[in-house]
A and B are shown apart, each in its own frame.
Chain A
Amino acid sequence: MVINSRFFNRSELIGFFALALVLFVILPLFLDIFRLNLVAKYLTYAFVGIGLVLCWGYGGILSLGQGVFFGLGGYCMAMYLKLEASSVANTKIQSTPGIPDFMDWNQITQIPLFWKPFHSFPLTILAILVVPAFFAFIIGAAMFKRRVGGVYFAIITQAIAAILTILIVGQQGYTGGINGITDLRTLHGWDIRTDHAKFILYFVEVVLLFGCIIAAQFIRLTKLGRILVAMRDQEDRVRFSGYSVANFMIFAFCAAAVFASIGGALFTLEVGFMSPSFVGIVPSIEMVIYTAVGGRMSIFGAVWGSLLVNFAKTSLSESFPQLWLFGLGALFIAVVLAFPNGLSGIWADYVQPRIDRLLASRKPKSAPGYVADGAPAE
């Protein structure tokens, strides 16, 4: 059995089942399909959050460019869907039938070379997994081998997010420009716009999310995860012990990139379009904030953080558009100043001990307490 007491400790097991209960049973039962689709959209950020927990919480590498990988995954999926939606039959009113509509508007008459692989579904899936990992590898190898980290890494990843956004907006004919790739219809012949499809996609997404949670937990528990924590706290000591610090950092960064990319691809499927407004600096920092609010040291915390912050964002911006940004800003400041470990830290510090005490008083044998994986990175 995968889930045994070694893979998840007791409190993590409770967290795992609580999350599974909420996502698989409670939310689908009580929400209408519109709200469920919104939850699905929020959960795509949870993928990014899980990656950030690995790379930032455990590895100490703060990337402000996760939107790049989210966008790469999203655009790969969107390109496949767009090519399928612009068959010759669908686009016969265009001056060049059979190419995406925005290319036609920009006087492009041929599908560009880098769009060609996205005719095939298996190649698209491969691209969603490989392209971001490849980019993350190049960025990571260039930076970590030269021992660039911390603040400089954050700023450079941020610049990369800015570059990609400007590039996408500027190259309208090839990327759809500021509007992004819209009007997506079918996935492999299956209409993704119906309520029924949205329902199924939601469950596909939750299953994938749990796959990612288990993968991240696996990485965390192997020796690799231990080295990541050691590296975050005492980089030089790990280096002097003979480990190649750069390679471990590159791995963590690539893993986070792949998680983000899966989230992005699902985002395209759930929402039905992809645009540069999910790539740039602002969305990238927001993704970091979801993770920080949920707890940078907790995989489940990242999921809850994405759900709760986005839920608050939607409901507050629906009813108090003026107040929302004040609230969000105050939330960041409060989380950073008072609760560096986010919601999961509050849970571990205040709620968990009480539950333990309650359980302990019922059972004579004392239960093992929650062991945090160390203080937040400096």
Chain B
Amino acid sequence: MLGDYSIGDLGAILAMQGFAGLILFSVYVLMALGLAIIFGQMGVINMAHGEFMILGAYVTWMTSNAVQHFAPSLFPGYFFLAMILAFIASGALGMLVEWALIRHLYKRPLDTLLATWGLSLILQQAYRSIFGAREVGVELPDWMMGSWPATDSIQIPINGMFVMALTMLITIAVAYVLYWSKWGKQVRAVVQNRVMAGAVGINTEKVDCYTFGLGCGIAGIAGSAFTMIGSTGPTAGQLYIVDTFLVVVFGGAASLLGTIASAFSISQTQSTLEFFLSGSMAKVITLLTIVGILMVRPQGLFALKVRK
């Protein structure tokens, strides 16, 4: 199998496969960040997370169409506007859902799973009714097209690099918000001891609502980034939800660093294996490995030591 390639070719293939893995890594990280906040911090299983992501993707698609139609001169920069709108749309929907649905279920985590699954069905059908069942793709501005030739045989797509840079920025922003801002401290206090946090004057209900909204908003940004590498359909979110949950669980639910490390190892394993095996077998082996490791080490890679 390997005999047909020279050493240089192999190196180039590995580099490009690795880069493809990095793009997958970015999508995983963006989706998993939102989920790590919602699932890791709040303990809510949000099966509709993929649908929040797709909402961001549709918002991006609509923005791109609107900008193209009304203000073609701004088209090269529409993406930044779209991202902000996606964050606001998904975040607002998330806060609405928290208020209407989730806050009644904090004591029954398994039931949040069923209720949000129902929500995901409703959202999917809503997308289908509004946007149609066909997948839509956004048109990229010129500067994102094409690729950057690193060497003669290695080509790196520019939109991929953009997504990665974006992922890094958002990760840093989330880490800052959660670990250094006053609000982040409140979130972590509520998670660690809800009653005591309430006793020292934190409005726990408000914190819950904003935390859920933030997680969903990041999912919206993930969807926005997702439009640059794939097309968007009503059920595209469902394809990623299990992977994302595995990323979060594998990393250790309450650890941001763990989430990033596990997203990296999973995406790299999968994209490297994809070159040697068929796509489906690569996925099967990756998932089996994760499940196997989780059976031996259920707390994930980076576990917080908390006394219960």
User: Is the pair B114, A288 in contact by a Cβ cutoff of 8 Å?
Assistant: yes
Q: Does B108 contact A (CB under 8 A)?
A: yes
The distance from the CB of A207 to the nearest CB of chain B, in whole angstroms, is 32
Chain A residues contacting B117 (CB-CB under 8 Å) are: 285, 289, 332
Q: Is the CB of A156 within 8 A of B280?
A: no
**Which of B111, B125, B280, B296 is in CB contact (< 8 Å) with A166?**
B280
The residue that A142 contacts in the complex, of B109, B115, B124, B295, with Cβ under 8 A, is: B295
A282 and B121 alpha carbons, distance in the complex (Å): 10
The residue from A146, A155, A325, A337 contacting B104, defined by CB atoms under 8 A apart: A337
Q: Contact: B101 with A337, CB < 8 Å?
A: yes
Q: When the two chains form the complex, which single residue of B124, B283, B291, B298 contacts A325, counting CB atoms closer than 8 Å?
A: B124
Give CA–CA (A333, B111) in the complex, Å. Answer: 9
* Known A155-B245, A166-B284; contact A331-B108, beta-carbon cutoff 8 A: no
Choose from A148, A326, A336 the contact partner of B122 (Cβ within 8 Å). A326
Given A158-B242, A328-B121, A329-B122, answer yes or no on A292-B287 (Cβ-Cβ < 8 Å).
no
| A152–B249 touching, CB < 8 Å | yes
Q: How far is the CB of B167 from chain A (nearest CB, A)?
A: 23
* A162-B121 in contact given A62-B110, A142-B295 (Cβ < 8 Å): no
Question: Judging by beta carbons under 8 Å apart, are A148 and B278 in contact?
Answer: no
Best-buried of B47, B110, B125 by chain A (most CB within 10 Å): B110
Note all chain B residues with C-beta closer than 8 A to A152.
249, 294, 298
Q: Does A337 lie within 8 Å of B294, measured CB to CB?
A: no
A148, A162, A170, A337: the one within 8 Å of B242 (CB)? A162
Residue B281, interface by CB 8 Å:
yes
Taking CB atoms, residues of chain A closer than 8 Å to B10 are none
Residues of B in contact (CB 8 Å), total 43
B107 in complex: contacting residue of A143, A162, A322, A378, CB < 8 Å: A378
Contact of A158 among B122, B245, B279, B298 (CB under 8 A): B245
Does B96 have its Cβ within 8 Å of any Cβ on chain A?
no
Report whether A169 and B109 are in contact in the complex, using a CB–CB cutoff of 8 Å: no
Asked if residues B125 and A322 are in contact (CB atoms below 8 Å), the reply is yes
Q: How far is the CA of A332 from the CA of B105 in the complex (A)?
A: 13
Contact flag A163-B122 (CB < 8 Å), given A151-B110, A158-B245, A337-B115? no
Nearest chain B residue, comparing its CB with the CB of A151: B109
Contacts of A156 in B (CB 8 A): 249, 291, 294-295
Give the docked Cα–Cα distance between A159 and B185 (Å): 33
Query: How far is B289's CA from A163's CA once the two chains are assembled, in angstroms?
Result: 11
Contacts A163-B284, A166-B283, A170-B278; is A143 near B114 (CB within 8 Å)? no
**Residue on B with the closest CB to A292?**
B114
Give Cα A282 to B117, complex, Å: 10
Interface contact B280-A169, CB-CB below 8 Å: yes
Whose C-beta in chain A lies nearest to the C-beta of B300? A152
Q: Of A159, A322, A333, which contacts B246 at CB under 8 A?
A: A159
Q: Hey, what's the 0/1 contact readout for B24-60 against A, CB within 8 Å counting as 1?
A: 0000000000000000000101010000000000000
Say if the beta carbon of A219 comes within 8 Å of chain B.
no
Q: A163-B284, A166-B280 are in contact. Are A336 and B115 (CB under 8 A)?
A: yes
A330 interface contact, C-beta 8 A: yes
Residues on A with beta carbons closer than 8 Å to the beta carbon of B279: 170
Using Cβ atoms and an 8 Å threshold, which residues of chain B touch A55? none
Q: Does B202 contact A (CB under 8 A)?
A: no
CA of A146 to CA of B293, assembled, Å: 13
**Docked complex Cα distance between A55 and B296 (Å):** 23
Q: How far is the CB of A139 from chain B (nearest CB, A)?
A: 8
> Which residue of chain B lies nearest to A163 when distances are taken between CB atoms in the complex?
B287
Docked-complex contact B246 and A325, CB < 8 angstroms? no
CA distance A162 to B238 in the complex (A): 11
Contact with A along B106-146 (1 / 0, CB 8 A): 01111101110111111011100100000000000000000
* B107 to A, closest residue via Cβ: A378
Q: Give every chain B residue within 8 A of A282 (Cβ-Cβ).
A: 238
Do the beta carbons of B124 and A333 come within 8 Å of each other?
no
Nearest chain-B residue to A323 (Cβ)? B125
Q: Write the nearest CB–CB distance from B245 to chain A, whole angstroms.
A: 5
How far, in Å, is B125 (CB) from chain A's closest CB? Answer: 4
A336-B114 CB under 8 A given contacts A155-B249, A162-B287, A378-B107: yes
Is the beta-carbon distance between B242 and A159 smaller than 8 angstroms?
yes
Cβ contacts under 8 Å, B169 to chain A: none
Q: Is the CB of A326 within 8 A of B295?
A: no
Asked if A340 is at the interface (CB within 8 A of a chain B CB), the reply is yes
Instruction: Answer yes or no: A154 CB below 8 A from chain B CBs.
Output: yes
- The smallest C-beta distance from A219 to any residue of chain B, in angstroms, reads 22
Q: In the complex where A325-B121, A326-B122 touch, is A160 in contact with B291 (Cβ < 8 A)?
A: yes
Chain B contact residues, CB within 8 Å of chain A: 43, 45, 47, 101, 104-105, 107-111, 113-115, 117-122, 124-126, 129, 238, 242, 245-246, 249, 278-281, 283-284, 287-288, 290-291, 294-296, 298
What would be 16 A-B contacts, judged by CB atoms less than 8 Å apart? Answer: A62-B113, A142-B296, A146-B298, A156-B291, A158-B245, A159-B291, A166-B280, A166-B287, A170-B280, A285-B47, A285-B114, A288-B114, A292-B114, A329-B119, A329-B125, A332-B118
Given contacts A142-B296, A156-B295, 11 further A-B contacts (CB under 8 A): A142-B295, A143-B295, A147-B298, A148-B295, A152-B294, A160-B291, A285-B117, A325-B122, A325-B124, A329-B120, A333-B101
